[in-house]
A and B are shown apart, each in its own frame.
Chain A
Amino acid sequence: AQTVTQSQPEMSVQEAETVTLSCTYDTSESDYYLFWYKQPPSRQMILVIRQEAYKQQNATENRFSVNFQKAAKSFSLKISDSQLGDAAMYFCAYCDGGSNYKLTFGKGTLLTVNP
């Protein structure tokens, strides 16, 4: 079974600084997708960034980028120029590339942004 591990229960960053959230996963599949979701106090899971395993290039979405190391099964999220609105729970998630769209989540990292 696939597992996702987030080893940092909490992280903090100063406004305008950069922070990196860690995620490792375990799978025997070669075709899969990885995601970072943000969950603010409103409770809705918001997709931050997505990475296809077959793509070697790291995904980037504005201030958010990932460092995808397939051999090491590592998928970290870098947030640049942190803003107060970035404060939230961040979940790393895995999904097989087949027809089953089950997402497997990590336990999350609570990010605090200090002004």
Chain B
Amino acid sequence: ETGVTQSPTHLIKTRGQQVTLRCSSQSGHNTVSWYQQALGQGPQFIFQYYREEENGRGNFPPRFSGLQFPNYSSELNVNALELDDSALYLCASSLTGDHVGYTFGSGTRLTVV
């Protein structure tokens, strides 16, 4: 059973640029969620995808968007990067209907300069 893998592990971008983060969900999981974790804070829910559609969204602007693919992998896209977007971005997968908890990846550390 493979876990959740995220790429890249680290990334440096310039303010105003666009970035794409990738996530492969755990085998057997069909739901993917993305979280933003600022330094010294708990993760904040960005959105969740199920059956390739957004299924819940947190308090994030539209420049944060995502995709889920038929193999349940996912992308997080952020346009017009701002300095405050610097954070650890965590992907988590789960099986719909199963409340045993998410399986998290190790995250992508995004730095915006």
Q: In the complex, which residues of chain A have a beta carbon less than 8 angstroms from the beta carbon of B104?
A: 37, 44-46
Given the complex of chains A and B, what is the CA–CA distance between A35 and B101 in angstroms? Answer: 8
A44 touches B102 (CB 8 A): no
Kindly supply a per-residue 1/0 record for chain B positions 29-61, scoring 1 wherever the CB is within 8 Å of any chain A CB and 0 otherwise: 001010100001111110010000001101000
Q: In the complex, which residues of chain A have a beta carbon less than 8 angstroms from the beta carbon of B99?
A: 33, 50, 52, 95, 97, 101
B43 touches A43 (CB 8 A): no
Q: In the complex, which residues of chain B have a beta carbon less than 8 angstroms from the beta carbon of A35?
A: 101
B94 touches A101 (CB 8 A): yes
Q: How far is the CB of A19 from chain B (nearest CB, A)?
A: 20
B33 touches A101 (CB 8 A): yes
B31 touches A101 (CB 8 A): yes
Q: In the complex, which residues of chain A have a beta carbon less than 8 angstroms from the beta carbon of B102?
A: 45, 47, 101, 103
Q: Which residue of B lies closest to A105 (CB)?
A: B42
Q: In the complex, which residues of chain A have a beta carbon less than 8 angstroms from the beta carbon of B48?
A: 100-102
Query: Would you call B88 an interface residue if the criterion is a C-beta within 8 Å of the partner chain's C-beta atoms?
Result: yes
A44 touches B105 (CB 8 A): yes
Given the complex of chains A and B, what is the CA–CA distance between A104 and B44 in angstroms? Answer: 7
B33 touches A44 (CB 8 A): no
A→B interface (CB under 8 Å): 4, 33, 35, 37, 42-47, 50, 52, 91, 93, 95, 97, 99-108
The 3 A-B pairs at the shortest CB distance, nearest first, are namely: A105-B42, A45-B104, A44-B106
B→A interface (CB under 8 Å): 31, 33, 35, 40-45, 48, 55-56, 58, 88, 90, 92, 94, 96, 99-107, 109
